[in-house]
């Protein structure tokens, strides 16, 4: 019998510290992010903060740096008259501003709706196999590649009431009884702007949707064919649900873009109250009317409206269509407004 | 339930001829395996039968009726794809029921059929899951289940086991064999490049090469009496040894074929001898690779393990009745 006692070997527990590899990775990630963050802070963060700051002052173009802080006066202020009547003034009660908000919303919703529908149709066509597909794919991008100012001027001529080709065609085909001043008349100005924007931006939408369509494996369509699924039903039950994430992202991009529309309207229908959008009105105040602070307040509100709309869109879009299921992991996200970019 | 006939079926993609005239009859309830190297047209041939591709010329008949113009769903077929081809956004249940809801069956009937198929394949507990939440083997079962619920006359498999790992492949192979026993009235066509799958599953094998049929027969017919050098080399594992030159001339053949299991190691004075270049011990049997001056080393298959080392000289004799003799064109001399 041995007298030796068995000594259990000392177990050295691994300390729960960050491994060196992880520390290195985090450090590397920081270094890669810094240039981007700096650039964003300089070109987006600083101007945004300045705009917000100016919106609380009485700044004017002639005297930017001696601006005094005036609180919410640019947004809303009131004076009570001797008669007891209270008169409100400021951005929140400005009918010109609310007209611009309404114009912008109308423009954004209608244009993005048509762009989404047409973009989907174009993408489906481009996704099909036919001869000369690559040429058509390149050609379809032309409207998008033309600078907005150029296409706006081009369309302005086509829509011209005296010399425009559209009036000429309409008259010859008997569709129009008389020449129409498309961009000048208040009742057609918005339609004209919408037509041009849809023409110009549908290719972009189509391209994003096409990218989504190409992610769908071809063989499930063959399985559907064997299952005897009608092509229309294939679209609604297979294509649409599977392309929806790409479509949603495309719509967000377009919506953000449409909410700050400026150049097309500035060129095509200058000074028409039927089409003036938030950006157009804000610029007017900033530079034309020398109401720099007031214009800043409008810019700030525009930023807030876009931010709220985007958050709402993402939140509603996910809850309503997804049943709250996170596409990345199949779990319900804890907080609804949570962008999941691997869609 | 369906007897399938192919009459001089041809298929071209543009100017590329893929199927160059195939005549074949597949009997009702038969398990037919299309086998061949990649690019031989076996998948295309299956897709022609399925109706996923148009037949360029020739006739395809189901029970004596020409079905060239019929859509896949009207042919009464079901197909299992190599990639599973499940609808990624639908649950397992919906994947299986999707084809049925279209046939306007009552909901209870559909539920009954799906549940029955799911139980048969032991995927009953996964009916609410999405395909991405399943393993490869489970996905393949769902794909098979989706085919079963359609109650097809013809069941088509396009390399269904290629994406599975080795162990799962064997298990699923056995399940498919069982399925064939259970559904013995259903004609099955199975495409594979794996000759082991072909040998184990098939009632008859159709060996394809370069768009034409090389040979059709039962697995044993192909193993014992191959109609060409190609079939001889393709069927059986390890590959049949080919011996040419003087050694073959002694047997009045251009090429001699002898399988590794039909070579006996003799101590002295064998018909041939060669130097060992490599050995593989698999436990139950073992392979010895001999350098005999041929294009490829000659493989000898031995029972149990062996103790040969590289450089050893080994004498072998073929079992005379198992020798295959081929002429210059690769046709057998019998």
Cα(B185)–Cα(B63) distance, integer angstroms: 13
CB contact under 8 A, B86 and A223: yes
- Selecting from B52, B99, B102 the residue whose C-beta is nearest the C-beta of A222 gives B52
Helices A240-259 + A292-322 axis angle, to 10: 170
Could you confirm whether domain A95-275 is CATH 3.50.50.60? no
Give the per-residue SS3 of B163-195. CCCHHHHHHHHHHHHHHHHHCCCCEEEEEECCH
Q: Mutation test of the interface with chain B: which of A222, A225, A227, A234, choosing the one with the most B Cβ atoms within 10 A?
A: A227
Count of beta carbons in the 10 Å neighbourhood of residue A170: 16
- Is residue A4's pLDDT more than 70? no
Q: Does A129 touch chain B (CB under 8 A)?
A: no
Cα(B42)–Cα(B159) distance, integer angstroms: 10
Q: What residues of B are in contact with residue A241 (Cβ under 8 Å)?
A: 89
Integer-rounded Cα Rg, in Å, for chain B is: 23
- pLDDT digits over A272-313, tens only? 888 999 999 999 998 888 889 999 999 999 999 988 988 888
Q: Are strands B272-281 and B285-291 parallel, antiparallel or unpaired?
A: antiparallel
User: Phi then psi for B266, rounded to 5 degrees?
Assistant: -120, 155
- A312: exposed, middle or buried (C-beta count within 10 Å: 0-12, 13-18, 19+)? exposed
Q: Where in chain A is the domain with CATH 1.10.3720.10?
A: 95-275
The answer to whether the CB of B176 falls within 8 A of the CB of B160 is yes
- Selecting from A227, A241, A242 the residue whose C-beta is nearest the C-beta of B73 gives A227
CB contact under 8 A, A228 and B50: no
Q: What pLDDT does residue B143 have?
A: 93
Half-sphere exposure of B237 (CA within 13 A, CB side): 8
Question: What is the ipTM for the molecules in this complex?
Answer: 0.84
Read off the DSSP letter of residue A15.
Answer: P
CB contact under 8 A, B103 and A228: yes
Q: Which of B80, B81, B90 is nearest to B133 (CA)?
A: B90
CA-nearest residue of chain A to B52? Answer: A222
CB contact under 8 A, B89 and A241: yes
Which pTM was predicted? 0.77
Q: What residues of A are in contact with residue B160 (Cβ under 8 Å)?
A: none
CB contact under 8 A, A225 and B73: yes
- Is residue A335's pLDDT more than 60? no
Cα(B117)–Cα(B123) distance, integer angstroms: 9
CA-nearest residue of chain A to B148? Answer: A227
- The alpha carbon of residue A186 and the mean position of all alpha carbons in its chain are separated, in whole angstroms, by 26
| Cα-based distances in Å from A303 to A72, A75, A299, A306, B27 | 17, 14, 6, 5, 72
Q: Are strands B255-258 and B263-266 parallel, antiparallel or unpaired?
A: unpaired
CB contact under 8 A, A217 and B85: yes
Q: What residues of A are in contact with residue B163 (Cβ under 8 Å)?
A: none
- Selecting from B52, B73, B83 the residue whose C-beta is nearest the C-beta of A217 gives B83
Which of B28-32, B98-102, B130-134 has the weakest average pLDDT? B98-102
Q: Does A242 touch chain B (CB under 8 A)?
A: yes
Q: What residues of B are in contact with residue A330 (Cβ under 8 Å)?
A: 130, 132-133
The answer to whether the CB of B134 falls within 8 A of the CB of B122 is no
Cα(B79)–Cα(B187) distance, integer angstroms: 12
Q: What pLDDT does residue B101 have?
A: 74
The answer to whether the CB of A206 falls within 8 A of the CB of A137 is no
Q: Which of B161, B220, B157, B218 is nearest to B188 (CA)?
A: B157
CB contact under 8 A, B78 and A219: no
Cα(B29)–Cα(B187) distance, integer angstroms: 4
CB contact under 8 A, B81 and A223: yes
CB contact under 8 A, A226 and B87: no
CA-nearest residue of chain B to A330? Answer: B133
Our CA-based measurement puts residue A246 at a distance from the nearest CA of chain B, in whole angstroms, of 14
Q: What residues of A are in contact with residue B80 (Cβ under 8 Å)?
A: none
Alpha helices (H) along chain A: 20-40, 46-54, 95-127, 133-140, 142-145, 148-158, 165-172, 186-214, 219-226, 231-234, 240-259, 263-268, 278-283, 292-322
**Which distant-in-sequence residues (6+ apart) come within 8 Å of B230 by Cβ?**
B207, B209, B214, B330
- Give the dihedral sign, CA A192/A193/A194/A196: positive
* Averaged pLDDT, B312-331: 90
Q: Does A227 touch chain B (CB under 8 A)?
A: yes
Q: What residues of A are in contact with residue B155 (Cβ under 8 Å)?
A: none
**Which distant-in-sequence residues (6+ apart) come within 8 Å of A315 by Cβ?**
A336, A337
The answer to whether the CB of A122 falls within 8 A of the CB of A202 is yes
* Averaged pLDDT, B291-315: 89
- pLDDT digits over B243-288, tens only? 988 888 888 889 999 999 999 988 877 888 899 999 999 988 999 9
- pLDDT digits over B136-194, tens only? 889 999 999 999 998 899 999 999 998 888 888 898 899 899 999 988 889 999 999 98
Residue A342 in tokens: 């691997």
Cα(B317)–Cα(A213) distance, integer angstroms: 62
Strands (E), B85-234: 154-158, 187-192, 204-209, 212-217
Cα(B230)–Cα(B214) distance, integer angstroms: 8
Which of A145-159, A313-327, B214-228, B294-308 has the weakest average pLDDT? A313-327
Interface contacts A/B by beta carbons within 8 Å: 61
User: Phi then psi for A337, rounded to 5 degrees?
Assistant: -80, 85
Our CA-based measurement puts residue A25 at a distance from the nearest CA of chain B, in whole angstroms, of 30
Q: Which structural domains are found in chain B, ordered by start?
A: 4-227 (3.40.50.300), 238-326 (2.40.50.140)
| Cα-based distances in Å from B148 to A131, B57, B68, B176, B200 | 38, 31, 24, 12, 21
A17 pLDDT band (50/70/90 cuts)?
low
A91 pLDDT band (50/70/90 cuts)?
confident
């Amino acid at each position: 019998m041995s007298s030796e006692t068995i000594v259990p070997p000392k177990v050295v527990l691994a300390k729960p510290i960050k491994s060196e590899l992880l520390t290195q990775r985090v450090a590397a990630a920081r270094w890669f992010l810094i240039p981007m963050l700096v650039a964003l802070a300089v070109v987006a963060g600083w101007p945004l903060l300045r705009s917000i700051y100016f919106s609380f002052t009485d700044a004017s173009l002639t005297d930017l740096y001696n601006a005094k802080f005036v609180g919410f006066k640019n947004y809303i202020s009131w004076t009570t008259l001797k008669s007891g009547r209270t008169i409100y003034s400021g951005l929140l009660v400005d009918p010109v501003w609310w007209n611009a908000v309404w114009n912008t919303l109308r423009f954004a919703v209608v244009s993005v709706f048509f762009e989404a529908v047409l973009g989907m149709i174009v993408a489906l066509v481009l996704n099909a196999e036919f001869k000369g597909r690559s040429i058509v794919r390149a050609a379809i991008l032309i409207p998008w590649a033309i600078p907005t100012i150029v296409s706006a001027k081009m369309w302005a001529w086509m829509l011209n009431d005296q010399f425009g080709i559209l009036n000429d065609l309409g008259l010859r085909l008997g569709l129009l009884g008389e020449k129409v001043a498309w961009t000048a008349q208040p009742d057609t100005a918005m339609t004209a702007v919408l037509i041009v924007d849809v023409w110009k931006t549908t290719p972009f939408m189509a391209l994003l949707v096409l990218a989504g369509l190409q992610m769908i494996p071809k063989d499930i369509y063959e399985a559907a064919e064997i299952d005897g699924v009608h092509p229309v039903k294939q679209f609604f039950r297979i294509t649409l649900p599977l392309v929806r994430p790409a479509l949603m992202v495309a719509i967000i991009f377009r919506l953000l873009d449409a909410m700050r529309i400026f150049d097309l309207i500035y060129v095509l229908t200058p000074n028409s109250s039927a089409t003036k959008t938030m950006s157009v009105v804000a610029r007017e105040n900033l530079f034309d009317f020398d109401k720099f602070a007031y214009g800043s307040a409008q810019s700030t509100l525009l930023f807030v409206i876009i931010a709220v709309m985007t958050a709402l869109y993402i939140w509603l879009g996910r809850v309503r269509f997804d049943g709250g299921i996170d596409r990345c992991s199949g779990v319900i996200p804890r907080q609804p407004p949570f962008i999941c970019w691997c869609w | 339930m369906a007897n399938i006939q192919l009459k001089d079926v041809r298929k071209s993609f543009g100017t590329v001829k893929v199927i160059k005239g195939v005549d074949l009859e597949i009997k009702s309830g038969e398990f037919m395996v299309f086998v061949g190297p990649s690019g031989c047209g076996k998948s295309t041939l299956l897709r022609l039968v399925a109706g996923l591709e148009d037949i360029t010329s020739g006739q395809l008949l189901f029970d004596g009726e020409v079905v060239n113009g019929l859509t896949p769903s009207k042919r009464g077929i079901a197909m299992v794809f190599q990639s599973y081809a499940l609808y990624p956004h639908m649950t397992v249940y919906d994947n299986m029921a999707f084809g049925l809801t279209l046939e306007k069956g009552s909901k209870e009937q559909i539920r009954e059929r799906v549940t029955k198929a799911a139980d048969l394949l032991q995927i009953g507990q996964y009916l609410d899951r999405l395909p991405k939440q399943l393993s490869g083997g489970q996905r393949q079962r769902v794909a098979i289940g989706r085919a079963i619920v359609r109650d097809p006359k013809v069941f088509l498999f396009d390399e269904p086991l290629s994406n599975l790992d080795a162990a799962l492949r064997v298990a699923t192979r056995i399940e498919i064999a069982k399925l064939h026993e259970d559904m013995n009235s259903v004609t099955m066509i199975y495409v594979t490049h794996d000759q082991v799958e072909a040998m184990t599953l098939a009632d008859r094998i159709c060996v394809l090469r370069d768009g034409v049929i090389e040979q059709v027969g039962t697995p044993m017919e192909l193993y014992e009496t191959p109609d060409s050098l190609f079939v001889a080399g393709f069927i059986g594992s390890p590959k049949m040894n080919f011996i040419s030159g003087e050694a073959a001339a002694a047997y009045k053949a251009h090429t001699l074929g002898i399988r590794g299991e039909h070579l006996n190691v003799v101590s002295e004075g064998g018909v041939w001898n060669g130097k060992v270049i490599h050995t593989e011990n698999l436990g139950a049997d073992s392979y010895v690779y001999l350098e005999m001056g041929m294009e490829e080393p000659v493989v000898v298959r031995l029972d149990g393990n062996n103790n040969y080392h590289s450089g050893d000289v080994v004498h072998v004799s073929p079992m005379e009745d198992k020798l295959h003799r081929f002429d210059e064109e690769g046709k057998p001399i019998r």
